[in-house]
Structure 1
Amino acid sequence: MRPGAAASRGGAGAGSSRRPGEERALTSVSAGDRYEGEQPEDLPRLWHVTLTVSGAEAPLKEVRRALEQLAHDHPFLLTSRYACDHAEIRYWEEARDLHDAAAVALRLWGEHRRTSGLPPWEIVGLEVIDRETYHQRIAEGYGPPPATPVGVHPF
């Protein structure tokens, strides 16, 4: 799981035998491994995220370049669509629950605005759905079309 993809479950003292101020070592966990006492509902799941932003007009070339930089820096992005005053970013997020996936999505634009050169737009829409719901919508013909072609494209 990516750092920051899910909020920490409990701090020092929350079911922990660590003493205050004691450092906790981080260890890698192989795919499929479980922590002792971890339930299936605690394991990370895939969430389909659609983040919509808008604001004052910006030159199309700059918007495209910024979204391409964001996709380069964060290759989990599936597709971005853009115009001079709004954009939509779609991607899959791995998180334990919807709250964690939404929290990461809501930070994405602001945290990478400077490093990617993104316009100073605000988030005006957010949809986070689980994998089953995404595939059900596609099968029923009323969900967003699959993200093809992948990449950055104008509306």
Structure 2
Amino acid sequence: MKIAIGADHAGYRLKDVLVPFIESLGHEVHDVGCNCEQSVDYPDYALPVCDAVVAGEADRGILICGTGIGMTIAANKVPGIRCALVHDLFSAQATREHNDSNVLAMGERVIGPGVAQEIIRIWLETPFSGGERHVGRIGKVKAIEDRYAVRP
């Protein structure tokens, strides 16, 4: 899979640890930044990751900030993105199986690199379970997006 990854200044250190890990799992990584401690705005890094996923240029996306909350909020404004904030292994599996999440958000200030690596491994390896119940719920989410879509 091709994975787009982005972080703000509060998450770039964890991102820099995770990129080689993701590559070691056999995935291609597109790193959109940031790569510094200088304060930056998380939406500026969430958007290119989400755009890549929606455009089909990346199969999935990973976002990291201090808590993961800001990245999650920004990502879920993009139609077609189902971003899940995950800090535990069960949620990593459940969000893939039940929600078919296509973007993962995590917080560097919340979890360490070892847990983050295991979350990513599980999230990348877990397929969407499908099933009428889960597909129907995702359809309802898409209907909400469509209802509030800006029309030119």
Give TM class, smaller chain: under 0.3
- More strand as a share of residues: 1
Query: Whose radius of gyration is greater, 1 or 2?
Result: 1
TM-score, scaled relative to structure 1: 0.25
Q: If each structure's helix is expressed as a fraction of its own residues, which one has the higher value?
A: 2
TM-score normalised by length of structure 2: 0.26
Highest RCO, 1 vs 2 (Cα 8 Å, sep ≥ 6): 1
